[in-house]
């Protein structure tokens, strides 16, 4: 009885803060879905400003929690300032500028991630599950309306939203029909993959917040949501989200179990690297195995070419990589891998010199190591673990591994949306949350009343 009383939220404190936090989380989801930026002269002036505004408000809301991370964030900032100086013999002046700009973007994205993580680790899981499920149902309903009868209306709204943004709308209608047998809905985003990502993030948040996550009934409900998501807006990234969810659910709890899991992951990575070194026709193999999914070149750029590019960059820049955000420094190595693996011959539209390095290689996991090198990447992981632990995240390395799995399907690494994925996997198991007895958010009168009723 006493625990039940203590579990009630303080009407003047945590309840109001969590309610505001959840409202800001909805705003963040909308921003992540639309990905609107402010442009000036053809260049991005303020990227994803809805996400930034909602995230900044969350930072203000949870500033006391985030103050615990201030020393570590200052250490990260100092490292991001120092690394380009140490790397300066390998960087041009423009590359140095890109590295500092990328470092600032990474700091902002990680700060927003910590604010979202502070929210999802303290709000009642049942409320988080209800919110994410209802928001998922809303996006599913809008997608069905667009698919069934209102495509022209949604397209007109999209044109109005993005007309002044400098961003084009998705034109791969033939590709959709070829690969999926339908024209996928966008629900006012610029491309269907953004809708798929939104639905999958909401699915993931709902599944991880369910009671007894990992039990058969929870797995059944989660698979139902994921199946509906794929039917509404099919995308191969669902495979990576499912793998990440399974990793979160069944993460080993013992040291021996975690050591075994790391050994298996490391072995799989080594075997992948060895196999790729002998595959001179990797692009043809991916096209043969995946059929139409491999025929566009997207799979090769997102997933297949990542390991060979990453290892080539680490071999050339072993300690500190090419610098955070300095993607174009890796462009010659990326081009060389596309050429050697036969990809430019199979997918000649990617030989366009106007395409950026991120267009040819969008594997977020490998971008971390390309940007930071072997030494810098390992130190960064240790610092990220410490940051997550400082705000009370259980099993922080589990959250990082889950984010890596999702990033493997395509991520820029430095942007807020990439780090939002990590924040989702910071959700604690619901059973663990419900077993806590937290007196910090209760006023003295509540404690006294609880003690009286407990007698």
Interval 154-194: pLDDT, tens: 988 888 888 776 677 777 787 888 788 888 999 999 999 99
pLDDT attached to residue 167: 73
Token code pair at residue 287: 């096209």
Who's near 227: CB < 8 A, 6+ residues apart?
Answer: none
Q: Provide the H-helix boundaries in 163-254.
A: 173-180, 192-209, 216-232, 238-249
Q: Which residue has the higher pLDDT, 84 or 303?
A: 84
Helix/strand/coil for 181: coil
| Cβ atoms < 10 Å from Cβ of 148 | 9
pLDDT attached to residue 270: 76
Please report, for the chain, the start and end positions of each structural domain, with discontinuous segments joined by +. 2-446
Q: CA–CA separation, 312 vs 318, rounded Å?
A: 9
pLDDT attached to residue 305: 83
Helix/strand/coil for 223: helix
Q: Which residue has the higher pLDDT, 440 or 202?
A: 202
Q: CA–CA separation, 306 vs 320, rounded Å?
A: 18
Which tens digits make up the pLDDT trace of 239-280? 999 999 999 998 887 888 878 877 887 787 777 766 665 555
Whether the CB-CB separation of 301 and 335 falls below 8 Å is answered with no
Specify the residue for token string 């919110």.
Answer: 131
Strand partners, 38: 46
User: What pTM, to 2 d.p., does this model score?
Assistant: 0.87
Handedness of CA 84, 90, 92, 94 (dihedral sign): negative
| Cβ atoms < 10 Å from Cβ of 266 | 10
Which tens digits make up the pLDDT trace of 110-147? 999 999 999 999 999 999 999 999 999 999 999 999 98
Whether the CB-CB separation of 347 and 286 falls below 8 Å is answered with no
- 24 pLDDT tier (thresholds 50, 70, 90): very high
pLDDT at 96 over 50: yes
Using alpha carbons, list the distances in angstroms from residue 57 to 11, 67, 112, 427. Answer: 21, 15, 9, 20
Q: What is the mean pLDDT of the chain?
A: 84
Burial class (CB in 10 A: 0-12, 13-18, 19+), 232: buried
Q: CA–CA separation, 136 vs 142, rounded Å?
A: 10
């Amino acid at each position: 009885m006493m625990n039940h009383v203590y579990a009630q939220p303080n009407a003047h404190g945590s309840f109001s803060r969590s309610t505001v936090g959840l409202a800001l989380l909805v705003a963040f989801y909308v921003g992540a879905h639309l990905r609107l930026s402010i442009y000036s002269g053809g260049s991005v002036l303020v990227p994803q400003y809805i996400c930034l505004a909602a995230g900044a408000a969350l930072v203000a809301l949870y500033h006391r929690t985030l103050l615990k991370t201030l020393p570590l964030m200052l250490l990260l900032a100092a490292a991001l300032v120092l690394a380009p100086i140490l790397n300066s013999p390998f960087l041009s002046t423009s590359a140095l500028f890109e590295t500092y700009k990328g470092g600032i973007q990474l700091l902002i994205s990680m700060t927003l991630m910590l604010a979202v993580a502070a929210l999802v680790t303290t709000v009642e899981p049942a409320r988080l599950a209800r919110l994410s499920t209802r928001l998922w149902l809303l996006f599913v309903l809008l997608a069905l309306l667009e698919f069934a009868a209102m495509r022209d209306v949604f397209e007109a709204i999209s044109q109005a939203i993005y007309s002044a943004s400098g961003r084009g709308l998705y034109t791969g209608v033939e590709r959709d029909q070829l690969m999926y047998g339908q024209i996928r809905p966008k629900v006012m985003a610029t491309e269907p993959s953004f809708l798929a990502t939104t639905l999958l993030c909401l699915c993931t948040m709902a599944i991880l917040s369910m009671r007894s996550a990992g039990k058969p009934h929870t797995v059944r409900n989660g698979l139902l949501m994921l199946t509906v998501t794929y039917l509404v807006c099919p995308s191969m990234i669902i495979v990576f989200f499912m793998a990440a969810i399974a990793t979160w659910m069944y993460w080993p709890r013992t040291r021996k179990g975690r050591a075994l899991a790391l050994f298996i992951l490391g072995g799989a990575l080594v075997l992948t690297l060895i196999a790729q070194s002998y595959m001179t026709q990797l692009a043809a193999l991916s096209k043969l195995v995946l059929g139409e999914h491999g025929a566009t070149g997207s799979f090769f750029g997102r997933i297949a070419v990542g390991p060979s590019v990453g290892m080539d960059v680490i071999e050339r820049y072993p300690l500190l990589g090419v610098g955070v955000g300095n993607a174009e420094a890796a462009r010659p190595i990326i081009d060389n891998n596309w050429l050697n693996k036969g990809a430019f011959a199979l997918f000649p539209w990617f030989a366009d010199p106007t395409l950026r390095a991120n267009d040819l290689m969008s594997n977020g996991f490998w971008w971390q190591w390309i940007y930071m090198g072997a030494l810098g990447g390992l130190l960064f992981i240790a610092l990220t673990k410490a940051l997550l632990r400082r705000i009370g995240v259980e099993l922080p390395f589990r959250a990082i591994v889950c984010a890596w799995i999702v990033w493997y399907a395509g991520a820029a690494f430095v942007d807020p949306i990439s780090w939002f994925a990590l924040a989702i996997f910071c959700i604690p198991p619901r059973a663990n949350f419900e077993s806590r007895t937290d007196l910090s958010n209760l006023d003295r009168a509540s404690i006294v009343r609880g003690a009286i009723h407990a007698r």
